[in-house]
Chain A
Amino acid sequence: DQQVKQNSPSLSVQEGRISILNCDYTNSMFDYFLWYKKYPAEGPTFLISISSIKDKNEDGRFTVFLNKSAKHLSLHIVPSQPGDSAVYFCAASAVDYGGSQGNLIFGKGTKLSVKP
């Protein structure tokens, strides 16, 4: 059973426009969400995160929105650039007060292509 879902395997956007990547989750215990960007044959690169006590977090061109009631989050990239072309993974975590590791559950990823 997939706890973190990215239902769009791919997205194509024109350079300069907004890219919106979506992610849904099912586990109401998740309270921390992250977005990672991955190029082929490289490790994922952390982009931006949001705690469940917030509904928006912004960092430069990247904004993550969280709708807890809908169990939905989205990553907005504006303006999109060709260098943003990569696979984007949504990840979620539930704080384990008995431990200290903060395990992540990843979605399957969305491949973003930004056309010049």
Chain B
Amino acid sequence: DTEVTQTPKHLVMGMTNKKSLKCEQHMGHRAMYWYKQKAKKPPELMFVYSYEKLSINESVPSRFSPECPNSSLLNLHLHALQPEDSALYLCASSQGASEYGSYEQYFGPGTRLTVT
């Protein structure tokens, strides 16, 4: 099973709303990631959790707040977003890295976010 699930599939929110994106994996992976992807662009890394601890924050604005409640779950809390934050938000997980290289990341289907 290499499935990463994400909910909701689509989300439309106003600039004053608070919402959360959810991600779940049951592969025993210890690293989980949030990416943002705009149309015709590659995925851009936002956050990395390693062993449930935030290890990388790629200078993401504070209106995005990640949370890792346990090793299988990853949330992204959204507050006071801007229209330019509209994008596909992807969650991924992996075993992390070994001396031979990084393990592949498995991506969820993404949440299509529209900020009005």
Contact = CB atoms under 8 A, between A and B. Distances in A.
A68 to B, nearest CB: 13
B19 to A, nearest CB: 19
A96 interface: yes
A33 to B, nearest CB: 9
Contacts, number: 89
B56 to A, nearest CB: 7
Interface residues of A, number: 29
A44 B107 contact: yes
A37 B74 CA distance: 23
A46 B104 contact: yes
A31 to B, nearest CB: 6
Majority DSSP secondary structure for residues of B touching A: strand
A101 B55 contact: yes
B66 interface: no
A32 B109 contact: no
Q: How big is the B interface, by class?
A: 35 or more
A96 B31 CA distance: 13
A97 B98 CA distance: 8
B96 A100 contact: yes
B97 interface: yes
Interface of B: 2, 4, 6, 30-31, 33, 40-43, 45, 48, 50-51, 55-56, 88, 90-92, 94, 96-110, 112
Interface of A: 31-32, 34, 36, 41-46, 49, 51-53, 89, 93, 95-97, 99-104, 106-109
